[in-house]
Amino acid sequence: MRQIVLLAAAAAVCLPGLALAQDAKVTPAATTGTDHVDVDAIIQKFAAKEAEFKEARDNYTYRQSAKIELLDPSGNPIGQQWEEVDDNYFTPDGKRAEKVVYAPVSTLQNIMLMPEDLEDLRNVQPFVLTTADIGEYILNYVGRQKIDEIGTYEFSVRPKKLVTGHRYFEGTVWVDDRDLQIVKTDGKGVGELKSGQSKNQAFPRFETYREQIDGKYWFPTYTHADDTLHFKDGQAQRMRMTVRYQDYKRYEGKSTIRYGDVVTDPNTPTKKK
């Protein structure tokens, strides 16, 4: 998000400056105390499970409802907000699509949403860490922890380097010690989508929770942030964000769904000439 300052002439301008997170240094994963686990094996197994989950989620339709409210320092709404409801669905030919079903006029004045904010809503807040992704991140094992009576492995996660054009997750993930899937994330999005476009931007720290859908995979269902954004011009703005992912339904129109692909159902009978 970018800070907006209202000048005397009532024109909105954006002030410069946001420092990117520094590239993280590689440190080896280790066990904590008497908790002796094969960390590398756990990482490989849960990354493989996350890859399975990502493919499975690509076969589900769902509704994403997002709302951002600006607050005063005491946490009271100041009457500025942004809201949007999107349906993620499949077209009749089986291609993935997204449709805005509700988007009232934004009343935000003190800040404005940037492309990075929208990218975070789609991909960073519902963070998935697959086998293909782990090479871009440094994972350090922290230890075991229970979350709502679920036993988990806790890992700190940060990108090895920030490549322009990509957004990354930086924070903590908790992995179910039985299903080996992420059940909670706590962190923020980092990285520039365009070089030099990060002037006076700041992004909130958020928590995302997952729930088990259809008894197999853990799907993101709720993201929440209540944070004060500190901008390099010295300004600060408290905000609250709520994102809900609802009505997950498996798409049964084709045997396999892939973005942009047309897949033939092998069970479809062939017409005889």
What mean pLDDT is predicted for residues 167-193?
96
Ordered by where they begin, the domains of the chain are: 38-249 (2.50.20)
Q: pLDDT digits over 34-77, tens only?
A: 467 899 999 999 999 999 999 999 999 999 999 999 999 999 99
pTM of the complete model: 0.80
Dist CA 245 CA 260 (whole Å): 23
Q: Which two tokens stand for residue 182?
A: 């992420």
Confidence of residue 30 (pLDDT cuts 50, 70, 90): very low
